[in-house]
Structure 1
Amino acid sequence: MLRRKAMSQLLFWKEHHAKRAMLVDGARQVGKTHLVREFGRANYQHVVELNFIDNEDARDAVNAAHNARDLFLAISAYADDELVKGETLVFLDEIQQCKEVATKIKFLVDQFDDYDFVLSGSLLGVELKSVRSVPVGYLDSITMYPLDFEEYCWANGVPSNVFAEVHEAIEEKREINDAVHRRLTALFHEYLIVGGMPAAVANFVNEHNVQSLRVYQQNIISRYREDISQYTESIRQSRIVRRIYDLIPSELNQQNKRFKVTSVGSGARYVRYQEEFLWLVDAGVALPVYNVDEPRYPLMLAERSNLFKLFLSDIGLLTCMCGMDVVRDLINDRTDINYGSLYENVVAQELKAHGFDLYYFKNNMIGELDFVVEHPRGTVMPIEVKSGKTYTRHSALNKALATENYGMKRGIVLAESNVKTVGQVDYLPVYAVSALNR
């Protein structure tokens, strides 16, 4: 069983929810269903699960319900376990096929508060837009992502106290223990190939077979492409969304990594294809990093939504789409290859999973900062990502830190290095992005 951080959020909800259901959201294949099942088995005497893809009759019965009693009657009619007050979790899965249940859930938690209700599904950012009213005040939510690097290390048997050493070293501005550093660096290079999709991770941990791993990853990519065809509103939109999705690896391979909308088609403009880009974002399969005019708090006021980099939500899927040659180069630790796009993708993925909104900054006077993120205390932290040995060269970061108007006190460089501090810059091993948390 893969250990997931989201489990602690479910446990907290169980103890404190008070007439609230839980919605577990996230892209397809990130482990939502497995997590809820494990949570149910460990914490309830009875678990009733209805899957609205597998059980069309249950879906129709729930859709036909007019009130809470009708809805609970429909659930009880198709329940595969006993419904016992105070001892039962009701798990409604794949609710994108039964969208009105998200609206009706408030009636259930109001009138049947002796039961706990968890909802889950994929593409909810896309599909729930058409729901009349998601019940604010009756529904808590968790967004799940692929396994982050720390979770990947847990899957490989790394104990939690290893990351305690990482946190302490960063806090104390000293080098991480050499044995720990070498172990985590090796696992990070492996993570660039495997990524964090649970099925792929479980397969690789058991077999360490790259060919088998790629079968799992290619199946996930194929399923995402099928979703695009199934859930987009028209054949035209499906074609454009798939084109954008397939372009992500090559666009990231460009020098500035910014997605050029003209790559979608001759004369294309963002305003015309905005919905298609947002579909991928709402589906959870792509991560946009928006440009800001100035790296000043709050960043959202300076956002330029028509200028962005577009990363995949999982680094393993990106590496798979880049081809087997890239995988071989990573395995051979080739130092003459520029892995910049891969490193930036994994950093974007980690920052997003840890609660950060994603921005970057670029102008002619300063240059480009790979990421700028908000610190909870109302300041902005610039982050540079370096995959090569020349990681101490960062003129844009130096200029930004020297610009008094930006109010930046310190900057971070994530690189193939141990922890060290020079002036206003903290150099951290790239895997230490796992220690940054909003």
Structure 2
Amino acid sequence: MFFQRKAYQALMTWKRQSEGKRAMLIEGARRVGKSTLAQEFAQREYAKHLIIDFSEASEDIKDLFRHYRANVDDFFMYLQAYTGVSLPRRNAVIVFDEVQRFPPAREFIKQLVADGRYDYIETGSLISLKRNVEGIVIPSEESSLRLNPLDFEEFLWARGEETLASAIRDSFDRLHPMPEPLHRKAERLFREYMLVGGMPQAVETYLTDKDFGMVDVVKRDILSLYRNDIAQFGAADAMRIRRVFSTLPGQLARHDKKFKLASLDNSARSREYADAFFWLADACISVTAYNVDDPEVGLASSTNESSFKCYMADTGLLITQMFADNASTPHEVYRDILLGKLETNEGMFTENIVAQQLMAGGHGLYFYSKRDSNNHENTMEIDFLISRGYDDAAGRLRISPIEVKSGKRYSTRSLDKFTEKFGKRVGTRIVLHPLPLKAENHTLRLPLYMAHLL
């Protein structure tokens, strides 16, 4: 089943603007829908297409890439003969699926793009892994697109709720709360989304079976696939990668959500585990958020890489990963989250789903954390920081601090302290909470289901 994805429009823009001068590499986690997206785009937007899946390509096909790089005309003549597909010039696309499994094909992109007769789309996971780029020159004629799990708006589209998705966007644009019945419906569907997650196979299973137990089986299969990838491709770091991966739920269950290396090993050092975190991020399994010591609009310029949080890229997988030692996720967990009655761990799931929406929207993940044991008034925790246009500064970028609230009763003390400390650097303050939209002074209180619109 093909779901409407925002990345499809990004591919349309690439096709129109590149005019064959750049290939497109679609990166993302395993089972996130890269191959389906590439195939659907190729079928719809070109007169002809050819898909070469390097997870199962024959040695005869691979030999063409090995032996005919110096003669592109012969390469295409033999490729079309082998596959039986005739490709019209400038109205055909060749898809290199799972290109990380055969690096010479990726390197060949340089000559193929220079030839100019076709468009090229590559898909890959673990695309930066050393063994997947070893011995090749990465082509500069390659654009890249990260495909994330479905965000909440895409989930609504998949459920046939396009009208509700438009109403949520209109409410956000006008800063006017939706009618209470629509708000309650959006809240309920957002909780469904949190439980199911955004992996296409899990969404498809939920839409077909309406059974969280069946969805849980699918998510466990995906997590098993990730563990197998760690064992197969983790090399010398496999044990450390596995440790980090297995402890992610426990780390996020901490009050401040910050990752503590000492919980893995009393003698653990950042340098020893750096490659493990990079591997999980490169596999698009996890997403790292860094503490910003001195927030400016260019948030990356003052990050403290020794202080970080590590989120799961998909919250549905996080919920299942939390109960990985059980044969299945207890049905009470699904019931209580769906009904808004989960008293423990809801904060971690809520913060993770916001991180997932911000990533899908193109934001890097940053936060602000300051502890002062001598003066509690200097202690503050801001869940996320983004740069955003600010009306009171003629639309110029300012820092928007974001607080995520899983409950309906809360304070904004940290936001107040942050605003007082950083003054004119601060723009609109944002609270994401399980309540209707409310705009007041310089604070925007948004329902959680609007996080994807930031």
Q: Name the TM tier (shorter chain).
A: over 0.9
Q: TM-score, normalised by structure 2?
A: 0.90
Write the distance in 2 (CA, Å) between the matches of 1:68 and 1:94.
Answer: 24
Which residue identity lines up with residue 7 of structure 1 in the other structure? Y
Q: Give 1:198's aligned residue.
A: 200
Write the distance in 1 (CA, Å) between the matches of 2:75 and 2:418.
Answer: 57
Q: Give 1:341's aligned residue.
A: 348
Q: For the Cα contact (< 8 Å) 1:68–1:108, is it kept in 2?
A: no
In 2 relative to 1, CA 155–46 (structure 1 residues): closer, same or farther, beyond 3 Å? Answer: same
What secondary structure sits across from 1:311 in the alignment? strand
Write the distance in 1 (CA, Å) between the matches of 2:175 and 2:87.
Answer: 54
Q: For the Cα contact (< 8 Å) 1:203–1:213, is it kept in 2?
A: yes
Q: For the Cα contact (< 8 Å) 2:65–2:108, is it kept in 1?
A: no
Write the distance in 2 (CA, Å) between the matches of 1:435 and 1:66.
Answer: 45
Aligned: 1:9 with 2:10: yes
Aligned: 1:425 with 2:443: yes
Which residue identity lines up with residue 356 of structure 1 in the other structure? H
Q: For the Cα contact (< 8 Å) 2:188–2:338, is it kept in 1?
A: no
What secondary structure sits across from 1:124 in the alignment? coil
Which residue identity lines up with residue 187 of structure 1 in the other structure? L
What secondary structure sits across from 1:107 in the alignment? helix
What secondary structure sits across from 2:103 in the alignment? coil
Q: For the Cα contact (< 8 Å) 2:103–2:133, is it kept in 1?
A: no
Which residue identity lines up with residue 107 of structure 1 in the other structure? Q
How many Å apart are 1:115 and its aligned residue? 1.5
Greater Cα shift, 426-435 or 403-412: 403-412
Identity of paired residues, percent?
Answer: 32
Structure 2 residue runs without a partner (length 5+): 324-328, 372-377, 390-395
Q: Give 2:142's aligned residue.
A: 139
Q: Give 1:382's aligned residue.
A: 401
Write the distance in 1 (CA, Å) between the matches of 2:206 and 2:363.
Answer: 29
Q: For the Cα contact (< 8 Å) 1:62–1:75, is it kept in 2?
A: no
Write the distance in 1 (CA, Å) between the matches of 2:125 and 2:275.
Answer: 18
Q: Give 1:244's aligned residue.
A: 244
Which residue identity lines up with residue 15 of structure 2 in the other structure? K
Q: For the Cα contact (< 8 Å) 1:94–1:120, is it kept in 2?
A: yes
Aligned: 1:182 with 2:179: no
In 2 relative to 1, CA 73–122 (structure 1 residues): closer, same or farther, beyond 3 Å? Answer: farther
Instruction: Supply the RMSD in Å over aligned alpha carbons.
Output: 1.9
Which residue identity lines up with residue 407 of structure 1 in the other structure? R
2:106 to 102, 110, 124: 102
In 2 relative to 1, CA 71–314 (structure 1 residues): closer, same or farther, beyond 3 Å? Answer: farther
- How big is each residue's C-alpha offset from its partner over 1:250-276, in whole Å with a ceiling of 9 and x where there is no partner? 110111111111122121011221111
In 2 relative to 1, CA 409–328 (structure 1 residues): closer, same or farther, beyond 3 Å? Answer: same
How many Å apart are 1:45 and its aligned residue? 2.5
Q: Give 1:20's aligned residue.
A: 22
Q: Give 2:159's aligned residue.
A: 156
In 2 relative to 1, CA 171–43 (structure 1 residues): closer, same or farther, beyond 3 Å? Answer: closer
Name segments (4+ residues, structure 1) moved above 4 Å. Answer: none
What secondary structure sits across from 2:407 in the alignment? coil
What secondary structure sits across from 2:284 in the alignment? coil
The correspondence of residues 346-385 of structure 1 with structure 2, limited to 5 A, is 346-364=353-371, 365-375=378-388, 377-385=396-404
How many Å apart are 1:169 and its aligned residue? 2.4
Which residue identity lines up with residue 204 of structure 1 in the other structure? Y
Q: For the Cα contact (< 8 Å) 1:384–1:413, is it kept in 2?
A: yes
